[in-house]
Amino acid sequence: MAASRSIFRFKKFQIAHGKPGLKISTEACLFGAWASIWAKGRMLDIGTGSGVLACMLAQKHPESSIDAIEIRQDVAELAAENVQASPFHTQISVQDSDLQSFSPNHSYDFIICNPPFFHQHLAAGQQDLQVAIHDDLLHVQDLTEGIHRLLNHTGEFAVLYPPHGMEKFENCCETMGLFLNHKAYIFHDEGSPNLRIMAIGSRENKSKTQENIRIKHADGSYTETFEKLLSDYYLLFS
């Protein structure tokens, strides 16, 4: 791993991140911990980046197998290095592939994706950000079609979007017989606007539920909810 990369240390593994790709965010860690509640069986991580979500799910579900795909070859190589250095290298398979051409010979019990969510928003020269956070290469339509194609009949999927992105994604899902069953609205603290929405969906159109999750209190300390979700992962939580 390149010496210039940052290292994010968790309790049971560590992840090199950034250069190439984006650095790990608090929201991504929260998403991985939250989604692990629903995760099960054979899993797919779409756009794995550094591989952090795949490793978080593998830690919580040691009996699982996880395919992690990444469209950028250099980022896929980074994810593969991270996985190989982790305790989960026999559970996780990293592949350099885009979703549209990814054709496994099986379906999945659980699909997770922290997708790009901006549309044509940065200058063309910022290539790392352009691919990692823009929907140019993974539009909501492509993601929805991929989930519909690869999810088994009783499977569930998890996504993380800003509010405007989640609305587009949900509308697209419903045209294909996919439904968001539970949403968690993420807030930085009591007075902040909604940053992101995490959602769990399936092929079943059942009663919808929701919750609010605040990361910190007004005094800067982490909330009990956040600490409980990340207690198995973050070094600062005993």
Query: Which pTM was predicted?
Result: 0.91
The residues spanned by each domain of the chain are: 6-230
Question: For position 4, what pLDDT does the model report?
Answer: 58
Question: For position 123, what pLDDT does the model report?
Answer: 40
- Asked if 150 and 104 touch (Cβ cutoff 8 Å), the reply is yes
- Asked if 137 and 116 touch (Cβ cutoff 8 Å), the reply is yes
**Token couple for 49:** 């980046």
**Token couple for 199:** 């959602």
- Asked if 223 and 192 touch (Cβ cutoff 8 Å), the reply is no
Question: For position 47, what pLDDT does the model report?
Answer: 96
Distances (CA, A) of 19 to 2, 26, 126, 206, 215: 9, 18, 13, 42, 27
Low-confidence ranges of the chain (pLDDT < 70): 1-4, 117-137
Across 162-215, the runs of DSSP E, i.e. the strands, are 179-187, 194-202, 209-214
Determine the topology of domain 6-230 in CATH.
Rossmann fold (3.40.50)
